[in-house]
Structure formats: C-alpha cells, structure tokens
Amino acid sequence: MTLDAATWSRVTEIFERVAELSPAERNATIEDFAPDAVVREWLDKLLTAHDDPDELLIDRTVKGVVEALADDEPPEAEAAPDAPVQLGPWRLVEEIATGGMGRVMLGERCDGRYEQRVAVKLLAGRSRSAADAELLDREIRLLARLEHPGIVRLIDGGLTGAGQPYLVMEYVDGEPIDEWCRRRQASLNQRVELLRQLADALSHAHRRLIVHADIKPSNVLVDKDGRVRVLDFGIGELIRERAGPEGRALRCSPAWCAPEQLLGTSSASVAQDVFGLGALLLRLLTGRRVREGSRITRWLGGTISADTEHPPPPSTALLQHLPRARVRGDLDAICLRALAAEPEVRYASVDLFDADLRAWKDKRPVAARPLAPPARLARWARRHWVPVAAATITLGGLLTGIVLANSSARQMQIAADQARVEAERADAVRDFVLDLFRAADPLRAGGAELSTRQVLAGAGEALERSPELSGDARLEVLNVLADVQRTMGWTDDAESLLAQAMHLVETDPALAPEARAETRIQLGLAEVEKQEFDQALAQFRQAEVELGALETPAATRVRARAHTNIGSVLARLGRDDEANNALDRAEALLAILDPPMLELELVVAAARGVAA
C-alpha cells in the first residue's frame, strides 16, 4: 500500500486530534472529519501502533516504520530475489533481517578461491549517477579502515545491476545485547563490561573521524564468545548523502536517537554516540527505552518536539535481580549524564564515559558525580581496605576499653531508669486496684454490699480521682478493666472505659506505642462482639501502625495479638488465604516469645480450623 505526502498529511492531522481520546471519542471525532478509506486505514494503523507499540516497530527508522505499517511487499526492483543472486564473488542465499535501512541477506563466497559466509546488506534506494557510485566507493574505502575486534568488518561493496547499493560484511552469529543479557540473567558487572567493550569500539572509530549515530540494541550484537560486535557503522551517513532533504527521517531510529537527531538539528557527531551509550546503559539496567512508543508515534504524526523531561535514575526502575545499592548514586549519574538533552552537557567523548565506568568498577569517584572530601576519603578507604583495616584494629585496641566502659555504664543507667519507671508504674496500678476494691467494703459503702460489676463500673470515676497515675499507667488500667468487662459480657461498661482510653490515645502523643496499640486491640475486640468485622479489622491493623518498627518484647506480644485477631476474624469471614497469611505472621511472632503465650497459640489453632 503506497502513501503519498497529501495522504500522510491528512492522516497526521486527524491523528494529532484523536491520539489521546477514549475509543468512543476517537470514533466520533474521526467521523466528523469524514476521511476516505485510504486515510482511515492509515489512521487506524498509526493509532494501533500508538496504543500498543511493537518493540520491532519502534526500533526502526521513520521510513522503516511507515513500511512496516503498510505491511506491503517492497517494490519488485528492491525485493530480494526468490532464487540466489550473485553480486561479484558473492551469492545471496536467504534473507536474515529487514529494516528501515534496507535488507540483510546471508551470503557465501562462490568463486572457488575460499569458503566464507557473509552478511550482505542491500541499502534502501537506488543510485542513479556516476557521482553516486563514486561517493559510495569512497565511503566503502573509508569504512574498510575500521579494523577492531568489536566492529563487524566491512569486506566489499558496490551497486547491483539495478543500481541498489550493497555492503558485504563479516557474518556474526550473535544476538542483540539486551536479549543476550536478558536470556542469561547477566550480572551488573557483565552488563557494564559489555558497555565498556562497545565504548572501546566506538572510540576506535571516532579516532578515524567516523561516528555511528545509530546505536541501538539491534546494531550491537554479542557473539557466542560473549564479545560485543557493532554493526552498521556509517550506513546512516551513506543514506543521508543520497536521501536529500528527508535524510534526517531516514537515518533516525526515534526510540534510541539523541534529541538533536529527533529534531533534525545536527549532523552526525560524537555526542550522538555518547547518547547511544547512555540509552543502552538505561536499557540494560531497567529494560526500558529513553522514549516509549506513544511518544514516537506522536512524532511520526508530526508532533516534533525536544525531550523536556530527563529519564528517572535507573535505580528507581531497576531490573529485579540487579543490586540497587550498587547502581544508586554513581551509576545513576553516569547514565543520566550520557543521556543529557543538551549535547554539551554529555561526556565530551566515549573515552570519558568509559573512564567513569572504570572508576565505578574500581570504587573510585566518578566525574559525573563530584564528591566532597569526606566522601572521597571513604572511597579511598574502601579501595585500600587492608592497611586501613590494620590501622583501625590498632586504634580500636586503644579505644575499646574506654568505649566498653562508657557503654556499659550507660546501659546500666538506662536499665536502672527503666526498672525504676516500671516499678513506679506497677506500684501506682497496684495502689489504684486496692483502693478500688477497698471502696467495696460495706463499712465504707454505707453498709451496702457492692457487686463486682458495680465496683468495676466505678473505675472510670475513680481514675479521675487518681491524678498520681501517669498517662501510660492510666491507659493500662483502662485497657485491663475494659477487657474484664467485655469478657464478662458487660459491653456497655467496657465501651465507656474504652472511650476514655481512646480519648487518652488521641490527646497524649507521649503515650507508649505498646499501650496505644493495646487500646486499638481492645476496641477491635469490642467491634467483634457487635459483629462489626470490618471496623474490627481496621482497629487491629491500626494497632500494627501504632507499633511502627518497635521491636521490644512488649511490642512483639501486642503485635502477635493483633495478627492473631486479624486471622481469626478473616477466618470467620471465609477469607481463607488472607486469614492463613495473618496466622502465619502470628505464629512466627509467638515462636520467639519467652515466656510463650499459650492462650494465643490456642486461638491461632482454632482459627486455622475455621479457615480449613
């Protein structure tokens, strides 16, 4: 299916209006434009690519994308022949790849001098003049100067009988760098080492005034020996020289190219290869591209704009098996500097990029992230850990006695203070309970015999008359008494005391987390009595929030109670998987308690039975 300029202009005009609309709004808006069948077909293809961009689709040049959307056979003159075709001493055997730059055929030597397998790239377009042929010959001689183990060697080149340029290159049995790393779950060091091999190959080319300008995974293979091999050096420039005013679009792979290439404001430069290294580093660390498909299809639709947002640091979206601690900081900074939107902010050369990767590997400061003197000293110490360790041991021997003596005295003082506070609170609680039951003496109560319920019901008023009780002690008494009343079935009395307890929790931020969490548990148990299970679960979970990261023995006991009650309620509700998860957590906590809480272990066993 062919595409002329007028049709594409109409397609992109409608696409820009409807790309971000819902399906229903899209259809209505498209109908308002009343496009003809050809425009509608192209529009549907472009919208499909925008909504679900294919990895291979957006790895192509713009021309390649359009051809892929067309899903047509290439023109007969440019198509690979059905039968093998001979180009000089090379016979074409079969097609092995296709893309916006052209088609790649597997070839073999056929003149009998020696056996050799090659890759023959048939470049897009035709050369029509002797000047074109002379230019191609000059560029081939220039590219043939690239002799480096990381660069796929150019062997031959010329024009087919129909005037189509072709290049004969060394055949590499390999796979794209990102696929190689993914299939082998490559380590972080392996991924960085591959990038350093690529930087070395690019440096070799740059010293000969040749840039690649189309670094992307499909152009960077890893062979069976684990070595990087770079494809397609200079092909973008060959096409640009013959492509006229649309050369920018023809040689730019929008998912990977530098922003200035996307805008068409720059000829090929070292800065573009530095950006390509950064784009590949981002890919190998996160699995992501610098631009996603929706942005690329909008660019195809005519919305050409510079990148205004820098990608987030790789450590924030790291592949799961890579160590975040080793990426965060220095490797983040290296990647983001290479990906800077402004060419002058990037590394001035691929050698400087490689130097920073080497510094990262050696645990030295990197240029992309200047360090203050203390941080530099820490890096130095990590690199020279043996003498530093020896000096530290010597110095430590001198200081250990002083430190231990001070630490022991401090711990003893803390323990004594804590024991004193707990003793004072225990005395206060004991005195309050004694006073509470002394009040039930018939002689003091005017001869009346008070019931246990009456005694407990007066606890709230008695607390108000006991200002000597601290906030923590007061909350502890309220929780204990409410627990007794609820157990006895005196729900209204328990709720009255819990209301007082909750008022304390909300108004006194200095209360111990364990006591605050216990209040939440008592409120949750009261909700269970009323069959209000959602509210109960909310209170039990809030108890966990109150405890935070606290790991005292008391906190462990309260946390075990919270998870036991959560599991018990979820089991009653038939939410078996959630119940068992909560009960697993409760059992893990109960297993480390000393002395054990046997009553909670029984509750867990009962809840397991309900869930089963």
Active site residue: 214, 232, 273, 493, which one?
A: 214
> What is the C-alpha separation between 47 and 37, in angstroms, rounded?
15
Nearest in space to 490 (alpha carbons), one of 452, 444, 433: 452
Higher pLDDT, 594 or 426: 594
Mean pLDDT on 420-447: 57
Nearest in space to 201 (alpha carbons), one of 191, 212, 190: 212
Contacts 24+ apart (CB under 8 A), 562-565: 562/517, 562/520, 562/521, 563/589, 564/590, 564/600, 564/603, 564/604, 564/607, 565/521, 565/524, 565/525, 565/528, 565/536, 565/540, 565/603
Nearest in space to 334 (alpha carbons), one of 359, 301, 309: 359
pLDDT of amino acid 77: 37
Cis geometry, peptide bond prior to residue 374 (ω within 30 degrees of 0): no
pLDDT of amino acid 472: 78
* Residue 451 pLDDT class (50, 70, 90 cuts): low
pLDDT of amino acid 75: 41
Helical axes 598-611 vs 553-572, angle rounded to 10°: 20
Return mean pLDDT, the chain.
Answer: 78
Higher pLDDT, 271 or 2: 271
Does the annotation count 576 as an active-site position? no
- Max distance between CA atoms of the chain, in angstroms, equals 128
Mean pLDDT on 401-405: 64
Higher pLDDT, 398 or 385: 398
CB count in 10 Å sphere of residue 376: 13
Is residue 498 predicted with pLDDT exceeding 70? yes
* Residue 239 pLDDT class (50, 70, 90 cuts): very low
- What separation in angstroms does the CA of 358 have from each of 151, 194, 197, 353? 21, 12, 11, 9
Q: Tokens 């007066």 appear where?
A: 458
Give pTM, 2 decimals. 0.54
| H helices present in 110-176, as ranges | 130-143
What three-state secondary structure class fits 227?
coil
Share of the chain above pLDDT 70, in %: 68
User: b/e string for 589-601 if b means 16 or more Cβ within 10 A?
Assistant: bbeeeeeebeebb
pLDDT of amino acid 535: 92
pLDDT of amino acid 401: 64
Strand partners, 343: none
Residue range 6-43, pLDDT digits in tens: 787 788 788 878 877 888 888 888 888 888 888 888 88
Is residue 350 predicted with pLDDT exceeding 60? yes
Is residue 345 predicted with pLDDT exceeding 90? yes
pLDDT of amino acid 272: 93
Residue range 270-302, pLDDT digits in tens: 999 999 999 999 999 999 888 766 666 666 655
* Residue 387 pLDDT class (50, 70, 90 cuts): low
| Per-position DSSP letters for 94-126, written without gaps between them | EEEEEETTEEEEEEEE-SSS---EEEEEEESS-
- What separation in angstroms does the CA of 609 have from each of 306, 532, 572? 63, 22, 10
